[in-house]
Amino acid sequence: MTQISEPARALVVGGSTGIGRAIAGAWAETGAEVIVASRSRPDDAALGWLQIDLSDPAGTRRALAEVVRQGPLHAACYSAVHYGDKRAPLRDVAESEWLHQLEVNLNGLWRTVAAVSAALREAAPGLFVGVSSEVVYNAGPGRPGYAATKSAAASLLDSLAQEESAEALRVVQVLPSGMVDTPGIRRRRPADFDYGEYMRPACFAPLAAELLRTRGTEQHGDHLVVQPDGSWRSVHAGLPESQSREPAT
């Protein structure tokens, strides 16, 4: 099994909060140098920070090129997301919101892959981790823009995985089995909402550390569903439940 013998250098786009922050922290705890790319600074001084706004394509391209220019890159993760203000049917979603979701959830991913994939291949084997969602399998009534952009993002990374040799670049997608209590989700909930049933971002830490250690040697092309206890399984062992529709009775 592949083990990283040199200290890894890794990038987490959307690593300032939520699941991306948990992945960045888990990677840093392995001894990796981790650079978070986001609009706001992560709350951990051990993480490097590059200020980017994914809705600024030219600035994003410049910033990501700088990360690659400054040293080797062994791993990258894309966790950035624009959920939208609130759940609403397609007929009530403004075009500006749809375009923002496309920019952050999909175009930013494309620009990240375009900027870093050559560097990851040079690190052979490099690792690219995409943070995915159950909406990819279930669609998303009440969040159509989120579902459409996440589905396209998953397909983009599936295509990349099929193009790449596992010797050079492993592509792995990870997703939670249920809702996760993150700042992005909290912005859409009432102040008195009960998050007792929600997963915590830290559930992603064991898988993130394992993927960096092995560089996804067994998981190239897979989608891994993370459970509340931090364990994971391939999506091929069972699709995650919809978090949009009422459970079937």
Ligand X SMILES: NC(=O)c1ccc[n+]([C@@H]2O[C@H](COP(=O)([O-])OP(=O)(O)OC[C@H]3O[C@@H](n4cnc5c(N)ncnc54)[C@H](OP(=O)(O)O)[C@@H]3O)[C@@H](O)[C@H]2O)c1
- Which residue ranges make up the site for ligand X (CB under 6 A)? 14-20, 38-40, 52-55, 79-82, 104, 131, 133, 150, 175-176, 179-180, 182-185
What is the smallest separation between the CB atom of 129 and ligand X, expressed in angstroms?
Answer: 11
Q: At what angle do helices 144-163 and 108-122 cross, to 10 degrees?
A: 20
Q: CA–CA distance from 136 to each of 16, 18, 75, 147 (Å)? A: 24, 20, 24, 6
35, 77, 97: which is closest to 201 by C-alpha? Answer: 77
Residue 181, judged by CB atoms within 10 A of its CB (0-12, 13-18, 19+), counts as: middle
Which DSSP symbol is given to 195? -
Shortest distance in whole angstroms from residue 15 CB to ligand X: 6
For the CB of residue 62, give the shortest distance to ligand X in the complex, in Å: 14
Cβ 178 to ligand X shortest distance, Å: 7
- Nearer to ligand X among residue 40 and residue 70 (C-beta): 40
Q: Which residue, 184 or 221, is less far from ligand X as judged by CB?
A: 184
Query: Which residue lies nearer to ligand X by CB, 184 or 228?
Result: 184
Identity of the residue, 13 or 123, whose beta carbon is nearer to ligand X in the bound complex: 13
